[in-house]
Chain A
Amino acid sequence: MSDSFDAMKDLMRKKLRESVQSGQQADSDPPPSPSPQQPQPPQQLPQQHSPQPEQRTAGVPRETPEVARQVRHHMSHPSGMILTNIETVPGMTIVEHFGLVNGSMVRAKHVGTDIMASLKNLVGGELGGYSKLLDETRGESIDRMVLQARQLGANAIVNVRFSTSSVAQGAAELYVYGTAVRVE
Chain B
Amino acid sequence: MIIRTVQPQYPLRRWFILGLFMCGMTVLISRAAYLQLWNKDILQEQGDARSIRVVEIPAHRGVITDRNGEQLAMSTPVESIWANPRKALDDAEKLPALAKALDMSIKDLKDLLRGRVSRDFIYLKRHAIPDVVEAVQAIAIKGVSTLSEYKRYYPAAEVTSHIIGFTNIDDQGQEGLELAYNDWLAGESGAKRVLKDRLNRVIENIESIKTPRPGKDLILSIDRRVQYLAYRELAAAVKHHRAKSGSLVMLDINTGEVIAMVGQPSYNPNNRGGLKSQFYRNRALTDVFEPGSTMKPFTIAAGLEYGNFQPHTRIDTAPGYIKVGEHTIRDMHNYGDINVTKVITKSSNVGATKIALSLEPKKYWEALNSFGFGQLTGSGFPGESSGILNSYNTWSDVEIATLSFGYGLSVTPLQLAHAYSVLATGGVMLPVSFIKVSGTVSGKRVLPESTARQVRKMMETVVSSEGTGKRAAVRGYRVIGKTGTVHKSTRGGYSDDRYLSLFAGIAPASDPRYVMVVLIDEPRGNGYFGGVVAAPVFARVMEGAFRILNIAPDNLPAITSPIMANRPDLELDEGFDG
Q: Do the two chains belong together in a single complex?
A: no
Residues of A bordering B, CB below 8 Å: none
Residues of B bordering A, CB below 8 Å: none
